[in-house]
Amino acid sequence: EVQLVQSGAEVKKPGESLKISCKGSGYSFTSYWIGWVRQMPGKGLEWMGIIYPGESDTRYSPSFQGQVTISADKSISTAYLQWNSLKASDTAMYYCARGSYYMDVWGKGTTVTVSS
């Protein structure tokens, strides 16, 4: 079964760093792009960016460029989304999903709460 398993919920303070993960299984992890999508509380979906784990080729939405870092470790079939300094406005659900642009397999999401 193709699946993406995301890391657990996080509660952080403003200014802290964070790295959340997304582990793929049941398919060739290095052959498909992985994307990240944000959903703020009660709001819609926002495409953040994608990575091709086979080559670490990364593309960012202009809205998220410089705000987050997307990376991957192909040796353990895992993609990451990272913040260096969290803000309260980063509070959201973050989904990883397989696909370069349209996304056919989704993780269950990681809730990130940033509060002082």
Partner 1 sequence: DIQMTQSPSTLSASVGDRVTITCRASQSVSSLLAWYQQKPGKAPKLLIYKASSLESGVPSRFSGSGSGTEFTLTISSLQPDDFATYYCQQYNSYSTFGQGTRLEIK
Q: Which residues bind partner 1 (CB under 8 A)?
A: 35, 37, 44-47, 59, 61-63, 95, 97, 100-104, 106-109
CA proximity to 49, closest of 105, 110, 97:
97
CB count within 10 Å of CB 25 equals 11
Q: Which is nearer to partner 1, 13 or 97 (CB)?
A: 97
> Distance between CA atoms of 114 and 10, rounded to whole angstroms?
8
Residue 94 Cβ vs partner 1, minimum distance, rounded to whole Å: 11
Beta strands, E only, the chain: 3-6, 10-12, 18-25, 34-39, 45-52, 57-60, 69-73, 78-83, 92-98, 105-106, 110-114
Residue 61 Cβ vs partner 1, minimum distance, rounded to whole Å: 6
Q: Which is nearer to partner 1, 12 or 59 (CB)?
A: 59
Q: Which is nearer to partner 1, 17 or 57 (CB)?
A: 57
The string of DSSP codes covering 30-48 is GGS-EEEEEE-TT--EEEE
Residue 87 Cβ vs partner 1, minimum distance, rounded to whole Å: 21
Residue 21 Cβ vs partner 1, minimum distance, rounded to whole Å: 16
Q: Which is nearer to partner 1, 51 or 75 (CB)?
A: 51
